[in-house]
Amino acid sequence: MSEKLLNIEDLSIHYFTENREVCAVNHVALSLDKGETLGLVGETGAGKTTIALGIMRLVPNPPGKILGGRIELEGENLLEKKNSEMQKIRGAKVSMIFQDPMTALNPIDTVGDQIAECIRLHSHVSRAEAALKAAETLEMVGIPRERYGEYPHQFSGGMKQRIVIAIALSCKPELLIADEPTTALDVTIQAQVLDIMNDLKNKLNMSMILITHDLGVVAEMCDKVAILYAGEIVESGTAEHIFDDTRHPYTIGLFGSLPSVAGQKRRLTPVAGLTPDPARLPAGCKFAPRCPHRTPECGQEEVALREVSPGHWVRCRNLEHVKGRE
């Protein structure tokens, strides 16, 4: 029997400025079992990082505000925790690999000391014990312990990303959130970093949320997938559901935008139009202005997720007219 680790219900997060309300995340529901990997996929501005920051309770306030919902970790609602309680949870139970390793590391501290600081913050150990564990963590991500005393500028981009992973895993969290961990890396280093993350996930029996634009990475790494558009989940299910039984027009459009090295050559068919301004979202279905299957009703009424097969949810009112991906 699978055991539930994370459960998100009806989560809404908006950003407020003097004259704008940016609807970044709207009524999102997600769940993750222990040992599973969930992929969050969508265009820039879809709300992927904001969901991750909401789980970590790191949404900047102001301007951001969590308007409602529940984020349950092992049955406990994180939105009801005090800041002092969340500081103990971050790093120890939930860790996050941030998007840019160049800015995630402190340039004036050695990489070993930065890992040891995280260990000492969440474990009652001496400086010597923390340093020993930090050196072991460096070796776990493929960096010799002899480089403990070096500074971030002495490492390549791929090595910096490994150090950020080492910091995130130093206290063996139950949930790891990786926000586009390979975006700034070349293809060869991407593969190495993903292999390290997958090996460590299995070794430490962690769950993982992987935020990415790359559907190839999702296919390789993820058990479940949630496709986000304009702050909403438009399709979710297992990786098999998303790749083998693609149903939502937006998901079909994402696959149509991907080049293929196999089969007959064809022109790419990108999704027409642009993502909507999150401060002026369209009425009804948020994807309707770009959807080739839209009807007048699509732009008038909100569309709820519906279960098209066990565990496979799609937010579309015209599914019978939508042809799946060929």
What is the enclosing helix (H) or strand (E) of 24?
strand 21-33
Residue 55 lies in domain: 4-222
Q: Are residues 129 and 254 in the same domain?
A: no
Q: Report pLDDT for 202.
A: 86
289 inside domain = yes
Q: Is the dihedral of CA 136, 138, 143, 147 positive or negative?
A: negative
Q: Report pLDDT for 201.
A: 87
Q: Which of 66, 65, 76, 53 is nearest to 7 (CA)?
A: 76
Q: Report pLDDT for 296.
A: 87
Domain end, chosen from 169, 187, 222, is at 222
CATH no. for residue 71?
3.40.50.300
Q: Are residues 33 and 57 in the same domain?
A: yes
287 inside domain = yes
pLDDT in tens, 216-236: 889 889 999 999 999 999 999
227 inside domain = no
pTM of the shown model: 0.89
Q: Residues 258, 215: contact at Cβ < 8 Å? A: yes
What parts of the chain have a pLDDT lower than 70?
Answer: 1-2, 184, 260-266, 321, 323-326
How many domains, in total, are found in the chain? 2
Q: Are residues 175 and 205 in the same domain?
A: yes
